[in-house]
Amino acid sequence: MINNVPFFAVMLLIAIGLYTILFKRNLIKIAMGIVIVEAGVNLFLITLGYREGGLAPIYTHLPSGVEIPGGLVLPVPQALTLTSIVIGVAILALILSFVVRIYRHYETLDSRNIRRLKE
């Protein structure tokens, strides 16, 4: 049961994020929602990569007597998470600069008032 706690956290984070994106009207909150979903997905990847008793494959800091490569962890999920974090930073920067532009133009962050395209 205790091993499943991260997965519940993942579900919770994704649910909160989706709720925020779908039901909040403030553009900054929508950006936060995306970041929360992303955090959930990243937590999922990291949790998948966890192996009890496994060591990080950093050869400079291995304690003596560790079996190589059997005692080490394959760091693919961590690499994926890192890539996803990098992409997340880029997306967040882009969204926030759009939000700045929109605020400059419409003087509001409420998505209900930003609908020139709907007409």
Q: What stretches of the chain show up as alpha helix (H) in DSSP?
A: 5-23, 27-48, 76-106
User: Is 80 a binder of other proteins (CB under 8 A)?
Assistant: yes
Compute the distance between CA of residue 85 and CA of residue 90 in angstroms, rounded to an integer: 9
| By the rule CB under 8 A, 38 interacts with other proteins | yes
User: What is the torsion angle, in degrees rounded to the nearest 10, for the CA atoms of residue 93, residue 94, residue 97 and residue 101?
Assistant: -170
CB closer to other proteins, 9 vs 84: 84
56 makes contact with other proteins (CB under 8 A): yes
Q: Could you list the residues that contact other proteins (CB under 8 A)?
A: 14, 21, 27, 30, 34, 37-38, 41, 44-45, 48, 56, 58-62, 64, 66, 68, 76-77, 80, 82-84, 86-87, 89-91, 93-102, 105-106, 114-117
